[in-house]
Amino acid sequence: MSEENKHRATAAAILPLVGGAANVTSVAHCMTRLRLGLRDRSLVQEEALKALPAVMGVVEDDTYQIVLGPGTVNRVTPEFEDLVEEGRADAPAEPAAPAAPAAPAGGSDPVTAEELAAQGAALRAERKARNATPFKLFLRRIANIFVPLIPALIGCGIIAGLNGLLVNLGWLPGVTPALAAIASGFMALIAVFVGYNTAKEFGGTPILGGAVASIIVYAKVADVEAFGQHLSPGQGGVLGALAAACLGVYVEKRCRRWVPESVDVLVTPTVTVLVSGLATLFGLMFLAGEVSTWIGDAADWLLAHGGAGAGFLLGGLFLPLVMLGLHQALIPIHTTLIEGSGFTVLLPILAMAGAGQVGAALAIYLRLPCNTSIRTTIKSALWPGFLGVGEPLIYGVSLPLGRPFVTACAGGAFGGAFVGLFNQLGTDVGSTAIGPSGWALFPLLDGNHGLARTIAVYAAGLLVGYVAGFVATYWFGFTRTMLEELNAAPDEPAPAAPAPVAAKERVAEKV
């Protein structure tokens, strides 16, 4: 089967399992996930969906997210969109409701991957309800502005790394200036894209958001004086663009309300750009520039003085932040650091959280030799975990078990402490883009002491995270009762257990 046919077959297999074309209201994707808006989530046949070879896991949030992995999701999404359009054109019949799940086995049966998946789904639903606060919804909208930029950040970051390597080796001197231009062009204009996406996200006219944000990168702003000093092109960066475009959306909406329709096409764009542009030049650029400088200085100070302690906290708390939806606040911080110094020193530390999950999964695999169901799940999810796609391990294994999720976070903490220590000692380990982690981050690494040392420190940090997550989970991830319940052979009755409790209560007891 050709690659194109394979991806279309994957899309065709997914569509009926999410309720058919009539149940799909929106289709989008990020780095690893197909994100679907669904009319009725009760029509989703989740177990059958997760059984598909191409599906690494599912995540329920504001959209229904199917984890396909980097690269694959970019190819499956357009095929899925085509099938949805075809299905709507053919006016399909009402999708059938999924078959009722089999009754749960008695208390004497071992806990299976299916039961863990059900517990994981309950935890996801609880997390979704807990995350639906105005502040977290606002953070999600901020993330929606920056996530579409990630592919360009990755591509340009890899080219920048390649160009740096060629320059250091003295190879291809006639080509390196061209590579530098290719790598730097997007970053020079990133404010424009941020402005465009901001206006789109908050209900304004996207091109007006881009127009207002483009003022920030215009070379002649150097002739403008604000707060007693001349502005610099790019001053304020993405934060200034974000603020300018938000202001532009506000002004545009006010104009739409009061300007007569007969002159709206002339007056509204003019007033929007003029008012927002003046506010950007004589206020927002300077203020956002000060904030951007403070963020860079704060990150440098944190790792220069906190070092291992800061890395321990960042690496250990990152996955709980993801569970709470607060990690989205880091996206503009990463982008600001990349814009200012060429790389973000925070991402390699946060990537250690995934290493802890991998180490924990290996320990679970060894501690449960009789539970073939969970071991099968781990085998299928482990390699994506090495590549930084951690959702299948988190939601399919460690989080439903409870204690192993905590010990996995401990592994990430020790890996983060290792990388943070080297930052404190003067070896910056950074990433030129956001999005990938695990082994997939290697092509994007950069630092202040050469690529070889940066790669070595990051690789050693991953190893520390793997080992610490493994040791913590192997020795502290299970109680005796958990092992008896989870490790019972399928053909042997487990020891007598108390009356069954709800999945949520069982997870709580294991924690």
**Could you list the active site residues?**
30
Q: Identify the DSSP state of 302.
A: I
Whole-angstrom Cα distance, residue 215 to residue 220? 9
Q: Taking the CA atoms of 178, 184, 186 and 189 in sequence, report the sign of the dihedral they define.
A: negative
CB atoms under 10 Å from CB of 353, counted, come to 30
Q: What are phi and psi of 68, to 5 degrees?
A: -115, -20
Structure tokens at 131: 């995350």
Whole-angstrom Cα distance, residue 424 to residue 311? 10
- Nearest Cα neighbor of 272 from 192, 197, 190, 206 is 206
- Nearest Cα neighbor of 330 from 350, 311, 316 is 350
> Residue 134: CB partners within 8 Å, gap ≥ 6?
none
Whole-angstrom Cα distance, residue 452 to residue 429? 11
Contact (Cβ atoms closer than 8 angstroms) between residue 347 and residue 437: yes
Burial of 170 (0-12, 13-18, 19+ CB in 10 A): exposed
35: helix, coil or strand?
strand
Whole-angstrom Cα distance, residue 405 to residue 424? 28
Whole-angstrom Cα distance, residue 221 to residue 246? 20
CA distances from 257 to 25, 57, 133, 260 (A): 29, 45, 29, 8
342: helix, coil or strand?
coil
Structure tokens at 229: 């000093």
CA distances from 346 to 14, 267, 417 (A): 36, 44, 12
Contact (Cβ atoms closer than 8 angstroms) between residue 122 and residue 504: yes
Torsion of CA 141, 26, 35, 193, to 10 degrees: -40
Largest CA distance in the chain: 81
Structure tokens at 338: 């990349």
The helix or strand, by DSSP H or E, that contains position 252, with its residue range, turns out to be helix 237-258
